[in-house]
Amino acid sequence: MKPGRSLGGKIKRIREFKNLSVEELADRTGLDVEQIMLIEENTFHPSLAPLIKIARALSVRLGTFLDDDEQLGPVLSRKKEKNKGASFSNKNIDARAHLDFFALASGKSGRHMEPFIVDVHAKAGGQYTSSSHEGEEFIFVLEGKIAVTYGKESYVLDVGDSIYYDSIVEHHVHCANDNSAKILAVVYTPV
């Protein structure tokens, strides 16, 4: 992947196009300068919450960071052409990524929802840090078993189960056991 087409590369390119310094972006988002630099260098895989803050500070849709082309009509995603969009971890800067997102509508112009197929990797130790952000999320389990921590509650979902929730409440999605899982996730974030 070319440097400017990676998640961090796109953020950096948009920031520079808007004549913002890393410090100015940090100020607008409330994130640390070091964290933004690590994101732009693709050294740190952020959760959705900081990405939403960055998207808002740069006045772009969240999906802009994953887009390749812009189409006004329908966008097809073929199973055999599945491209990895991004990996996200929790807020802990030292955490390894445990979610691989595959964007399903990256070429759709002006969309309000972000549909993904997400490979959820089992994580040793079971330590998770919840996050929150504006918007809503819908999750449908395709393979395996996942656990969703939502506020003080925890839900276990099997294949065929789904959950829809307000993302402003602290939440975390992870494997419910030592096996990986796959989900369909649709994220809505207001612009």
Nearest to 114 by CA among 65, 160, 79: 65
Can you tell me the distance from the alpha carbon of 145 to that of 177, in angstroms, rounded to the nearest whole number?
7
Confidence of residue 89 (pLDDT cuts 50, 70, 90): very low
Can you tell me the distance from the alpha carbon of 179 to that of 131, in angstroms, rounded to the nearest whole number?
23
pLDDT exceeds cutoff 50 at 2: no
Can you tell me the distance from the alpha carbon of 145 to that of 181, in angstroms, rounded to the nearest whole number?
6
Q: What pLDDT shows up at residue 183? A: 96
Confidence of residue 94 (pLDDT cuts 50, 70, 90): very low
